[in-house]
Structure 1
Amino acid sequence: MARDSTATDGPANDIPDRLIAAAVAMLAEEGPSAIKARAVAARAGMSSMVVYNYFGGVPELLSAVEDHGFDQLGQAFAEVGASDDPVADLFTMALTTLSYARANPHLYDAMFGLSTRATYRPTSAKGERRAGHSPAFNTAYAHVVEAATRLGSVGGLAVEDPRAAAGALWSFVHGYIALELSQHFAEFADPVRQVLVPMGVTFCVGLGADHASALASHETALRRAWHPGP
């Protein structure tokens, strides 16, 4: 039996986190159609009214779930750090994003709305798509922009506008991820090496990188992302 919204095991400020955790778990197990106020609240051991009391409704709860995902992605980007090879750093972030999407496909779709037709597309009061205005999104994306900036300042590439360079990288990486999640690369034995790496190398060569050095940096990223450690 669902508990009353005032009956909790912890402090009141723990309730939003418990609801988000329940929604994330249900999203992973059942997909976006499972995210209903009553179901999420029951999973968290509460009454459905807590969803409305703390979030306003299911779309707002899903916005908080998206922010949870961007917080995790931002933390993963921060762990990549900044080496003396910004190309490797950027591609390590790309592979980190791919790993996150593979492990959390429904959450990834809720965050970016790319791989499937999600039930909810949260918007602001002005009708804007919310992700580009979310502080959690912006914090995560700032790591990408900073790394793109270092392509010029450290890597010596021709980066006139780091935000445009970051946007171009962001576009082809998420395009690849959306297609991979939709099984469009089934004919490739290793689509990351056969499709994603060549795109990344071509992107860097377009900014003035030597092909061999760009490829070496991508190989470094593959080792860092797939086999982390000393």
Structure 2
Amino acid sequence: MGISDRKEREKQEMKRLIIDASMRMFLEEGYEKTSIRNIADKIEYSPGTIYLYYKDKDELLHEVQKEAFDRLHQNLLEKAPSKSPWKRLEQITTAYLEFGHAQPDLYDLMFIIRAPMNKAEESGWKNGKACFSYLLDCVQECIDKKLLRFSDPGIAALSIWSMCHGLVSLNVRCRMKVMEQDEAAVIKMIALAVQEYLRFIKA
């Protein structure tokens, strides 16, 4: 291995260390306490070392957000594998809801907190592309087989995503308390609402 290869490997290893520490801190202590200085303390390096790789907290959290979307994408691949496009669509929505309920802090970072998107404005946002493409491809298959009332796959995918996202977001941000139900009942209610919506848009 040459010097340049070794330096690149060391660079990637350091970035991995920083991202892993950032992810743990974000999940355990929340957005406000996740700072460059606190992350540096966790990995026992100076803040200056982290600034060699990330210019600020927003850029770092953008990378952590990417990790979160990679997890969601893997989750969709594992839990929504059906060869039937309609069945796969049902599996996608179920997997998405389950991920949001199980990972509320990550969901917040992915879809609600503004900070990571400051970086996205500079370079374009690619973090959610694989997940949306998985939904979009499935929706296109459903339309091709005349299983959906929609004719435009983009509008259909956006509609389905918005339905799921809206319900998960309400729950993540504790707005479903208006229903005066316990958490288990709320999660069941959300699943039933999405199932009802899918029945409504089915051709």
TM range (shorter): 0.7 to 0.9
User: Structure 2 vs 1, CA of residues 110 and 136 (structure 1 numbering), >3 Å: closer, same or farther?
Assistant: same
Q: Which residue of 2 aligns with 1:67?
A: 66
User: Structure 2 vs 1, CA of residues 120 and 157 (structure 1 numbering), >3 Å: closer, same or farther?
Assistant: closer
Deviation (angstroms), 1:121: 4.6
Question: 2:88 & 2:12 partners in 1: Cα distance?
Answer: 37
Deviation (angstroms), 1:110: 1.2
Q: Are 1:201 and 2:196 matched, yes or no?
A: yes
The answer to whether the 8 Å contact 1:90/1:148 transfers is: yes
2:157 to 158, 166, 171: 166
Normalised TM-score (structure 2) = 0.81
2:117 to 119, 122, 126: 122
The answer to whether the 8 Å contact 1:62/1:122 transfers is: no
Deviation (angstroms), 1:92: 2.1
Deviation (angstroms), 1:156: 2.7
Identity of aligned residues (%): 24
Unaligned stretches of 5+ in structure 1?
1-9, 209-230
The answer to whether the 8 Å contact 1:33/1:119 transfers is: no
Deviation (angstroms), 1:77: 1.3
Normalised TM-score (structure 1) = 0.73
Cα root mean square deviation, aligned:
2.5
Deviation (angstroms), 1:65: 0.5
Count residues with an aligned counterpart.
191
The answer to whether the 8 Å contact 1:67/1:134 transfers is: no
Aligned partner of 2:196: which letter? V
Q: Which residue of 1 aligns with 2:97?
A: 98
Aligned partner of 2:191: which letter? L
1 or 2, which has the higher helix percentage?
Answer: 2
1:1-230 matched pairs, under 5 angstroms: 11-113=10-112, 118=113, 120-124=115-119, 128=121, 133-154=124-145, 156-183=147-174, 184-185=176-177, 187-188=180-181, 190-208=185-203
Unaligned stretches of 5+ in structure 2?
1-8
Question: 3-state DSSP class of the match of 1:17?
Answer: helix
